[in-house]
Amino acid sequence: MGSHATRCRHIRPQTLFVTFSCIGREPLFIREEIREHLTRLLGTFVRAGDLELHAFVFMPEHVHLMATDGKLRVMRSVSSFKRRFALDIRRHYPHLFPAHRREGAVWLQGGGYIRHIWSGHEYGEKWNYIHANPVRRGLVKHARDWIGCSAVGSQALGFPLAPPPADLADLVI
């Protein structure tokens, strides 16, 4: 059997809406420089082709993203991203953790919330939900003003955002 990346080419790519949280709902991402770090890190996964990113937002204590499989399955990319960020944040921002938690987990255990996106309608709903999140919370007036949100656009992010997958279907029953 081949590598995971090889197997993915033979399986229909999945588009997922994923949410995962900081342990204890700690507001680690309230700081702009940490959201910028997260955005740069996410960009490395996108530029490597590991996933096709459609939308994301780093809220103070949780993350939402919508992506389609690239060279890796979305959840494998998310796991790698979370692991890499946990190492980075402990190295670069140890002062954010109380002494008794410096060796502990950064992320809430488990995969978080995962939803398959099958239709264009659902894709649009989740895309809007992601970008409205910082506005609904009163963090900014416009989503494009929140550092750590794909609403700022590809040019500001420094990496491409993928268009909606062509194979999403809106079923009429």
pTM over 0.95: no
E strands, the chain, are: 15-21, 51-58, 62-69, 113-116
Q: What is the pLDDT of residues 116-134, one digit of tens each?
A: 999 999 999 999 999 999 9
Residue 7 has pLDDT above 50, yes or no: no
- 126: domain CATH number is 3.30.70.1290
pLDDT score at 98: 59
Please give the tally of structural domains in the chain: 1
Domain with 109, as residue range(s), is 4-157
Token code pair at residue 95: 């002062």
Work out the mean pLDDT of the chain and round it to a whole number: 86
Place of tokens 């409205």: 132
Burial class (CB in 10 A: 0-12, 13-18, 19+), 46: buried
pLDDT score at 88: 86
Calculate mean pLDDT across residues 40-58. 97
Domain assignment present for residue 170? The answer is no
Domain assignment present for residue 55? The answer is yes
pLDDT score at 46: 97
- pLDDT level of residue 1 (50, 70, 90 thresholds): very low
Domain assignment present for residue 173? The answer is no
